[in-house]
Amino acid sequence: MEPLVATLIEYFDYLPEKGLLIRRKSTANCNSAGDILNPTRGHITFSGVDYDYATLCWVVYHKRFPKGIVDHKDRTRYNHDITNLREATPTQNQQNKAGYGTYSKGVTWRNRKEYPWQAKIRVNGDRIHLGSFETEEEAAEAYRQAAIQYHGEFACLE
């Protein structure tokens, strides 16, 4: 086991079903052993280094650092239950983001009489035009199908 991982395990405990980190040992900056660390904090500072809360949960549970970053399956950033955490590349993490704006994810509206709704998806850095449609619902369905095809388990269909 990597020495840094062993040190983190020595100082932190993790309750996987609750997604909570607990400090095992007191540290020089007066943190008490037994303190439950607030899961809404984005980062935990330990020995002068900031660690992402979810990454620290991953390290303590799996006894290794993730190969990429830690993604929250349900996109709830404070849900650190181990069943909600998974390894991801930065691209996969972005694919697991909900849409924004007033239209469905992957859908835009153009001011045209025929087929005003467009569906597009980004795959490996390239934007793919999925077609033009009469309704937003048709365009959204085209995006959903493409997201499942290209992004698999990381596809966010909202």
pLDDT on residue 29: 61
Q: Which CATH architecture describes the domain 93-154?
A: 2-Layer Sandwich (3.30)
From the candidate CATH numbers 3.30.310, 3.10.450, 3.90.75, 1.10.730, the one assigned to the domain spanning 3-88? 3.90.75
The domain limits of the chain are 3-88, 93-154
3-state secondary structure 56-77: HHHHHHHCCCCCCEEEECCCCC
pLDDT on residue 122: 92
Residue 30 has pLDDT above 60, yes or no: no
Residues of the chain above pLDDT 70, percent: 95
Check if the beta carbon of residue 121 is closer than 8 Å to that of residue 146: yes
Check if the beta carbon of residue 131 is closer than 8 Å to that of residue 121: no
Average pLDDT over residues 62-73: 96
Record the pTM.
0.78
In whole angstroms, what is the distance from residue 78 CA to residue 92 CA? 19
pLDDT confidence tier of residue 31, bands split at 50, 70 and 90:
low
